[in-house]
Structures are given as structure tokens and as C-alpha cells.
Chains A and B, each alone.
Chain A
């Protein structure tokens, strides 16, 4: 039982490149979230999903896209990477009483 897994752990991108951050869960939970954490800041919600095929924007969705074709997976796509997207990205699973967080992906855009 792995809980919430994220890949990769680290990545360096050049400006304009694209990539997909992977998030997978084995908790069979409908609710999944993507957050970003900038230095000295709390987490900001990028996108969330309340079930397969249903996604919606959070506080800071610009520059990102998501899809949710299965309950288990919730990938986050960066199409044209910009330095402002340098951050640590966390995926989370859960609703109301508890959210379980993955270990994070540290992304640097140069």
C-alpha cells in the first residue's frame, strides 16, 4: 500500500519545454489535488478533481493542465515551462477530514 506516489522527484526544465508530473494513488479516493509550494509560502491549489473525468481550477491554474481518466491517476501538465513555475509540486488525495500528501516533485525552470 503505497498511498500517494509522485514522479519524478526532481526535474530541471529549460524555458519553453513541456513535461508531465505524475501522481498515482492506491487509496481508491475520488478527490485529488495539485498544489504548488513556493519558498516561504503556503501551498496554493492549482487544480483538483472530484472523480474520473471531472476536474476544476484552483487558485493558480494558469500555465497548467490536468486530466483524470482513472481514479488512480491525476497527471499535471506544463506545456510551456516558465521560470515562474519553479516550485515544489504536491499531489494530495482526500476530502474534508484528511488530505494525504505525496512526497512532492521539485521542479526548476531555467
Chain B
């Protein structure tokens, strides 16, 4: 069965510092992978996605993620964090077929300190 693990419940970084959020997945085939961001009281917004091809994918708001099949990982990175990046981040794996069910990780809450 598919599963997604985000090992860090919360992370605090200083504004301007780099960021890496970890995500590990379990899936029997080549996965469809996603990162979503959720600001307080809001719905989820797609940051980036990986289906195939180049394993380094670029997303919105300056985020990128790298797919590493050997490590079953899809870590999210940003070179320089802004205070507005404080939010909750969800990694997800999608299973095609049927209704394309998406399995979400538990999320990592990012705090940004001045």
C-alpha cells in the first residue's frame, strides 16, 4: 500500500536561511509525487509535482524538489526562506487508476524566525 512519511513535525529556520523538508514514500511503481502548502485557515495549494523525467523539479514561490528513487525520497528545498513561507507543507503520492487517489503525509509545520 502507498504511504508517505514526513519525519519532521515542525521545523524552525531563520529568515534568509536555506530550507529542506523531508519526505519518504512507499509505492510499488513509479510514483506521482506532490508538495502542497497550506497557510492557516486556507485550503491546500500545489507547489510542485513530479511524474517523470528530470528528477529535479521547480515549483512556485522559489521551491524545488528532487526525486531520488534509490532513497524513496522527494525532499523539498528553498535556498532562502522568507517570513511569508511560514505554513504547513504536505508531501503526497498519487496512485493512478480509478479516481486517482492521493495519499498525504502528516505534514511539516514551518516556522520562520526573524
A96 touches B94 (CB 8 A): yes
* Minimum Cβ distance to chain B for residue A24 (Å): 14
Give B49's nearest chain A residue, CB to CB: A97
Would you list which residues of chain A between 76 and 97 have a CB under 8 Å from chain B?
A: 90, 92, 95-97
Q: Report the interface size for chain A: residues with CB under 8 A from the other chain.
A: 26
B104 touches A42 (CB 8 A): yes
Binds A, one of B37-45, B61-69, B72-80: B37-45
Grouping DSSP codes into helix (H, G, I), strand (E, B) and loop, the A interface class, with mixed when no group exceeds half, is: strand
B105 touches A101 (CB 8 A): no
Give B92's nearest chain A residue, CB to CB: A42
Would you list which residues of chain A between 58 and 110 have a CB under 8 Å from chain B?
A: 58-59, 90, 92, 95-99, 101-104
Given contacts A42-B4, A96-B96, contact A58 B101 (CB under 8 A): yes
Please list the residues of chain A having a beta carbon within 8 angstroms of any beta carbon in chain B: 4, 31, 33, 40-45, 48-50, 56, 58-59, 90, 92, 95-99, 101-104
Please list the residues of chain B having a beta carbon within 8 angstroms of any beta carbon in chain A: 4, 9, 32, 41-46, 49, 51, 90, 92, 94, 96, 98-107
